[in-house]
Amino acid sequence: MGSVIWSLLLVVFLQIYIIAATTDAGDSAALKSLMDEWEKAPPSWVGGDPCGDSWVGIGCNDSRVTSVTLPSMKLVGRLSGDISTLSELQQVDLSYNNGLTGSLPTSIGNLKKLTNLILVGCGFNGPIPDAIGSLSQLRFLSLNSNGFTGRIPPSIGNLSNLYWLDLADNQLEGPIPVSSGSTPGLDMLIHTKHFHFGKNKLSGQIPAQLFSSSMTLIHVLFESNKLTGILPSTLGHVRTLEVVRFDNNSLNGRLPLNINNLTSVHDLFLSNNKLTGPLPNLTQMNSLNTLYLSNNSFDSADVPSWFPALPALTTLMMENTQLRGQIPAIFFELPNLQTVLVGNPVCDETGTTRSYCNLPPSNSSPLYSTPSQNCLPVPCSSSQISSPLCRCAYPYTGTLNFRGLLFSAFGNSTPYQILEQSLMHFFQSHQLPVDSVSLSDPRMDPNEYFLLNLRAFPYGQESFNRTGISMIAFVFSNQTFKPPDQLFGPYFFRGDEYEHFSDDPANSKKSSIAIKIGAAAGASVLFLLLVLAGIYAYRQKKRAERATKESNPFAHWDPKKSSGSIPQLKGARCFSFEELKKYANNFSEANDIGSGGYGKVVYRGTLPTGELIAIKRAQQGSMQGGLEFKTEIELLSRVHHKNVVSLLGFCFERGEQMLIYEYVPNGSLSDSLSGKSGIRMDWTRRLKIALGAARGLAYLHELANPPIIHRDIKSTNILLDERLNAKVADFGLSKPMGDSERGHVTTQVKGTMGLFGS
């Protein structure tokens, strides 16, 4: 635990220097400032190049950040206004991070290229900034399920490209804005398909101007607000509508007769209002599947004979709606029609015991749960769950919230199976790492949303990594996945926090981490080295020149490859094989202090002066080409800084390739953090080491010529000298290159990313 906190601190310090290697400097700084506002950044957010270093959730084009996609990442903190300087940003998705709070910065209006702004299910509050209206490219705006307050900004009416507008489940109040004079309003959104405003505190009348025949809306959801007055007849002009919800408001007056013209509507929810007058004649609504009219004050009337004649109707809810008289016989002939007429005179007066005069039983036994697929569920340890394919894993979970449905038989498994198949087909065709999905516990919530629990199991592993989770969560937050529309209406998804990221150090198995750290530490520790005093370095150089003249070891370098010339060294000398053999006690096992990675073994040696050295010796199969070896030596020999391990020399003869480094006595930082070295790491020491490592990296980035990007910074690569000064180690070209790359000189360095990697 301590080492995690410490590593975080180190990250913060390192970032000060690392940021801005390749990616646009402004973008790096902006991401850093986002990170500063968060308690924890994703572990892969290390290294100076968000675009080149594969930071999770960051998408780039041409070294500019174009997307930030971090749903369900357990982010905690605020959204920094500096996000506005990511001027090429097109897509932001921070959904399902409950810990993201505070207000939406006004500067977000500067992101002129933004097309998708998705912040579903976070903890944002305060007003929605008016500046949102200047995001003229915006197509997808989802701010639902947060704590936003204040009014709907009229400027949203300026977003003429908007296709999806979801502000549901907030604390928004005041009237629905419509345009007037130079003030924009929602009536201008003629290309928008989705108006989702449910579960807010919107008040006042529904402006007649809001709707017009030029609109192309398919979903108009205003349920559970405080709207008053009548339902304007202009609604009947929006012939594209499919789902209409005004339930649980305080609407009164008569329903407009032309509602009957909405022939594509399949879900119409008007229950829990104060509607009066006669029930309208809805015979033309051929698509109507679900009709909720309960708890209104319609004129007392006979049960309309045309209800059962609506060809698509499966759910008819008419509690407390003043129906009287005889129930048409045809009601009894429609077994698939779920009808609730409880509270009407038609039930009360006749004392009928027909099922539709009772509320449907609230099922206590689960109606559906995806069964195992021809296998026996396996017992799983701890919080793992047996998947439908009977494999234990940590699934990604969440709740699908449907705001409309086209079936009523919740106990029938067919719709769920169709949804499962459609999910799996989607995941597979989009190459997402999902093995199987399960659905469970279908239920209606008090707002008449239909809820289903979803679990997605990881493919070929026990848990998802962050990339996997962010891709899967995005599929739902962006509505890229569309459920089969012959059964399911509009939905939104609430993702749960994921606790078992496979790339989260806290979740890896302790033992395997220890083994990895041990191995890697042992290896890297060995090799690294001591700062050469200037005079000594100079002397060594002279000696190297002499040695060169005497033995001409560079005859091994193929002159035809223009690598025949003597390396241009600064301060490093050439050792002979015999010399090193003696210093390292014949390369005895006792002097073997670990593996150096990429097929290298590291030996401790003692110079005749008594000074210790670390000899990194390439094994058969890990040899570099002559030119690469020379290039590497030249590069490393030029690097001199007290926080960077120094190269003392090399050996290139008798088919050997060896690099000789200063010996760093206290091993790696990871040894100390893990307690292996026995060095106590108090905070003063930690701070000093962090600063030292940062200085070393800053030197490599900014002062070395050519600049060196480490790309493999982690605690095993930071060594501690006798006074616990940090020395950055293991940079360089030591990765063997493939044949195709031979002869190609690069300053790109190898390695895994991240302080938490191993």
Q: By CB under 6 A, name the binding residues for ligand NAG.
A: 61-62, 130, 133-134, 155, 158, 182, 184, 224, 226, 236, 248, 257-258, 260-261, 271-272, 281, 283-284, 294-295, 306, 317, 319-320, 433, 446-447, 465, 467-468, 478-480, 503
DSSP state of 38: B
Say if residues 656 and 577 touch (Cβ distance below 8 Å).
Answer: yes
Cβ-based nearer residue to ligand NAG, 262 or 532 = 262
Give residue 582's Cα distance to chain centre: 55
What's at 307, amino acid-wise? Answer: F
Cα 14 to Cα 685: distance, rounded to the nearest angstrom = 16
User: With respect to ligand NAG, which residue has the nearer C-beta, 693 or 713?
Assistant: 713
Number of CB atoms found within 10 A of residue 714's CB = 25
| Nearer to ligand NAG (CB atom), residue 270 or residue 613 | 270
Spatial CB neighbours of 445, under 8 Å, sequence gap ≥ 6: 401, 451
- Residue 215 contacts residue 191 (beta carbons within 8 Å): no
Please state the closest distance from residue 104 (CB atom) to ligand NAG, in A: 14
Cβ distance to ligand NAG smaller for residue 182 or 381: 182
Output the smallest distance, CB 300 to ligand NAG, in A.
Answer: 16
Name beta bridge partners: 488: 405
Within 331-481, residue ranges assigned H as helices are 345-348, 414-429, 466-477
Q: How far apart are CB 641 and ligand NAG at their closest, in Å? A: 31
290 and 267 in contact (C-beta within 8 Å)? yes
The answer to whether the beta carbons of residues 83 and 30 sit under 8 Å apart is yes
- Least distance (Å) between residue 678 CB and ligand NAG: 33
Please, which residue, 237 or 543, has the CB nearer to ligand NAG? 237
Q: Which residue has the tokens 């698939």?
A: 336
Least separation in angstroms between CB 570 and ligand NAG: 37
| Residue number with CB closer to ligand NAG (145 or 155) | 155
Indicate the angle between helix axes 2-18 and 25-36, nearest 10 degrees: 150
For ligand NAG, the closer CB: 401 or 467: 467
Query: Nearer Cβ to ligand NAG, position 61 or 565?
Result: 61
Whole-number minimum distance, CB 538 to ligand NAG, in Å? 45
Q: Quick check: 143 and 167 in contact, CB under 8 A?
A: yes
Q: How far apart are CA 688 and CA 686, in angstroms?
A: 5
Whole-number Å distance between alpha carbons of 142 and 105:
16
Q: Please count the CA atoms within 13 angstroms of the CA of 444 that sit on its side-chain side.
A: 14
* Other CB atoms within 10 Å distance of the CB of residue 229: 15
Q: To which residue do tokens 């096992």 refer? A: 589
- Min dist CB 501 to ligand NAG, Å, is 10
Cβ of residue 199: shortest distance to ligand NAG, in angstroms? 7
Q: Please state, in angstroms and as integers, the Cα–Cα distance from residue 101 to each residue in 81, 121, 276, 364, following that order.
A: 13, 11, 43, 37
Tally the C-alpha atoms within 13 A of residue 135's C-alpha that lie toward its C-beta: 28
Cis bond leading into 706, ω under 30°?
yes
The rounded radius of gyration (Å) of the Cα atoms in the chain is: 34
| Comparison of 294 and 540: residue with beta carbon closer to ligand NAG | 294
Distance in Å, CB of 4 to ligand NAG, minimum: 18
Residue nearest to ligand NAG according to CB distances in the complex:
258
Residue 485 is a catalytic residue: no
Alpha-carbon span 53 to 57, nearest angstrom: 12
Query: Do the Cβ atoms of 637 and 631 come closer than 8 Å?
Result: no
Considering the candidates 24, 247, 496, 712, report the single residue annotated as catalytic. Answer: 712
CA-nearest of 243, 175, 245, 181 to 210 is: 175
What token pair was written down for 551? Answer: 């033995």
In terms of Cα–Cα distance, which of 488, 471, 474 is closest to 417? 488
Q: How far is the CB of 505 from ligand NAG (least distance, A)?
A: 13
- Side-chain half-sphere exposure of 501, counting CA atoms within 13 A: 20
**Residue with smaller CB distance to ligand NAG, 270 or 749:** 270
Q: Which residues are catalytic?
A: 712
